[in-house]
């Protein structure tokens, strides 16, 4: 009886162990089947879904940032914004001291007024020079008439001298009377020469008057006071002075956020020096760096879904492929790779793809430049005609 009890007690553990082994086998089988289902499901998802898209997390936000630089120099009078401050188009950012610019405007206004008076004087001189030409013509006519008169007197005196020459030979007149006749002839000859010289002098004076009038007319021909070249130049200089006065006030070129402020009151600035930047957060786009092998089916206009590390997966941005960069990142590096060497290892390159984001979404969920993004391009989608049209 004791032996029977011993056998019965030894059989109980053996049955329990058998049941445990069977349970473990069933659990292992269920686990294997579960893993198989998961693998098949994942493979199907990869084949059916991800096969129609390409994804990269090597993507970052960017924007066409405006550099605020003065076009005129001068001391800074006011700085009205700080970093992170939102500004609207036309808001005043920096004001330069405009004392010199205002004085220059006043100088150019005075210069314009003086130039207009000078042009009016030139037009008045033209009338004066025309009168002088007419006067010289009259003087020439008078000189020619006088020359005719003295020429006739000379001819009469010559005849008288000839008669007395014959009479003095016959002794009819005295030698003194003949001498007087000779003197009168020489005087008449001198008078003729003097009259001819007056004609030449009057002609020279008329030529000088004509030349002066032509020189004066060259400055005013075919023009009025307002469109005279000298007046137009003075107006242009005045307009430039006024523009420079306006440029002492620097304004925001568009809506955005102030960044990289590098100016303070009292600072002497020069043209072209960057004072600050304005980031247009409503125009932010994404540069997604896809591997070259991922871009076989990517086309401008295809739809893109993006998520940011800032908001996570709860905010999904919609965008469109806007275009491709002109070269890979390594091609435009400061020190490009030298692949023509003996020891060469092929490295898969990445090409930046520009993705345009929806502006309404950016207004609801603002981004900043340089944030990390994950972009998924739906290569099965047809290019969106609106996005292609906006690019052109």
Q: How are beta strands 276-279 and 66-68 bridged, if at all?
A: antiparallel
Can you say whether the dihedral through the CA atoms of 184, 189, 190, 196 is positive or negative?
positive
Is 99's pLDDT higher than 80? yes
Helix (H, G, I), strand (E, B) or coil at 248: coil
Dihedral of the alpha carbons of 264, 265, 267, 269, in degrees to the nearest 10? 80
pLDDT-derived band at 11, boundaries 50, 70, 90: very low
Contact between 327 and 353 (Cβ < 8 Å): no
| pLDDT exceeds 80 at position 363 | yes
| Closest to 325 in 3D by CA, of 357, 349, 346 | 349
Distance CA 68, CA 335 (A): 30
Which H or E run contains 249? strand 249-251
Statement: residue 47 has pLDDT above 70: no
Mean pLDDT for the stretch of residues 122-131: 76
Reported as a single tens digit per residue, the pLDDT across 70-96 is: 999 999 999 999 999 999 999 999 999
Residue with tokens 């980031």: 279
- Residue 283, SS3? helix
Torsion angle, CA of 304/305/311/312, rounded to 10 degrees?
A: -130
Distance separating the N- and C-terminal Cα atoms of the chain: 103
Please calculate the CA angle 98-102-103 and round it to the nearest 5 degrees.
120
Strand partners, 374: 307
Tell which residue, 247, 243, 225, has the closest CA to residue 112.
225
Query: Does the pLDDT value for residue 106 go beyond 90?
Result: yes
How far is the C-alpha of 251 from the C-alpha of 70, rounded, in Å? 10
- Residues pairing with 323 in the sheet: 354
Euclidean distance between CA atoms 31 and 35, whole angstroms? 6
Least confident of 63-77, 124-138, 231-245, 301-315: 124-138
**Among 61-75, 265-279, 325-339, the least confident range:** 325-339
For the chain, which domains are there?
66-98+247-279 (2.40.50.100), 101-242 (1.10.287)
CA 351 – CA 291 distance, rounded (Å) = 6
What percent of the chain stands above pLDDT 90? 47
Q: Does residue 357 have a pLDDT over 50?
A: yes
Sheet of strand 66-68, all strands in order from the earlier edge strand to the far edge: 66-68, 276-279, 256-259, 86-87
User: Using an 8 Å Cβ cutoff, are 48 and 360 in contact?
Assistant: no
Q: Parallel, antiparallel, or unpaired: how do β-strands 268-269 and 285-291 relate?
A: unpaired
Rounded to 5 degrees, φ, ψ at 285 are: -125, 180
Q: Is the pTM of this model over 0.75?
A: no
Q: How far apart are CA 100 and CA 104, in angstroms?
A: 6
For 12-43, write each residue's pLDDT tens digit. 456 667 777 777 777 777 777 777 776 666 55
Given this model, what pLDDT does residue 43 score?
Answer: 55
Alpha helices in the chain (DSSP H): 2-48, 99-170, 175-218, 229-246, 359-364, 385-391
Q: How confident is the model at residue 318 (pLDDT cuts 50, 70, 90)?
A: very high
Going by C-alpha positions, the residue among 318, 321, 314, 391 that lies closest to residue 360 is 318
Question: Lowest-confidence range among 148-152, 240-244, 342-346, 365-369?
Answer: 342-346
Based on the number of CB atoms within 10 Å of its own CB, is 81 exposed (0-12), middle (13-18) or buried (19 or more)? buried
What does each C-alpha distance from 71 to 246, 250, 272 come to in angstroms? Answer: 10, 9, 6
Task: Give me the torsion for CA of 132, 138, 140, 141, rounded to 10°.
Answer: 170
Mode of pairing for the β-strands spanning 312-324 and 276-279: unpaired
């Amino acid at each position: 009886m004791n032996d029977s009890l011993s056998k019965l007690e030894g059989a109980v553990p053996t049955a329990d162990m058998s049941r445990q082994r069977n349970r473990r086998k069933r659990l292992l089988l269920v686990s294997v089947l579960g893993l198989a289902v998961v693998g098949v499901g994942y493979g199907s998802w990869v084949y059916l879904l991800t096969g129609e898209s390409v994804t990269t997390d090597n993507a970052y936000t960017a924007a066409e940032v405006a550099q605020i630089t003065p076009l005129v120099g001068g001391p800074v009078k006011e700085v009205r914004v700080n970093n992170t401050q939102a500004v609207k188009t036309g808001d005043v950012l920096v004001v330069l001291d405009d004392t010199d610019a205002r004085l220059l405007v006043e100088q150019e206004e005075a210069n314009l007024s003086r130039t207009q008076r000078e042009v009016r004087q030139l037009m008045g001189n033209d009338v004066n020079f025309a009168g002088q030409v007419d006067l010289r013509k009259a003087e020439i006519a008078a000189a020619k008439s006088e020359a005719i008169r003295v020429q006739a007197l000379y001819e009469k005196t010559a005849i008288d001298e000839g008669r007395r020459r014959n009479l003095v030979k016959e002794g009819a007149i005295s030698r003194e009377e003949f001498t007087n006749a000779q003197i009168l002839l020489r005087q008449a000859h001198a008078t003729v020469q003097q009259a001819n010289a007056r004609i030449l002098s009057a002609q020279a004076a008329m030529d000088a008057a004509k030349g002066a009038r032509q020189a004066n007319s060259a400055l005013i021909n075919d023009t009025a006071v307002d469109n005279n070249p000298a007046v137009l130049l003075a107006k242009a200089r005045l307009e430039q002075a006024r523009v420079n006065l306006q440029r002492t006030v620097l304004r925001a070129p568009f809506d955005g956020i102030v960044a990289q402020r590098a100016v303070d009151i009292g600072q002497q600035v020069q043209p072209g020096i960057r004072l600050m930047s304005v980031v247009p957060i409503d125009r932010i786009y994404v540069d997604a760096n896809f591997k070259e092998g991922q871009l076989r089916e990517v086309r401008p206009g295809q739809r893109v879904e993006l998520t940011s590390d800032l908001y996570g997966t709860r905010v999904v941005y919609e965008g469109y492929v806007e275009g491709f960069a002109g070269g890979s990142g390594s091609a435009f590096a400061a020190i490009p790779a030298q692949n023509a060497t003996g020891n060469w290892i092929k490295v898969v390159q990445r090409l930046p793809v520009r993705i345009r984001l929806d502006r309404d979404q950016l207004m609801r969920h603002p981004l900043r430049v340089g944030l990390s993004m994950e972009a998924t391009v739906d290569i099965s989608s047809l290019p969106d005609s609106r996005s292609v049209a906006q690019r052109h």
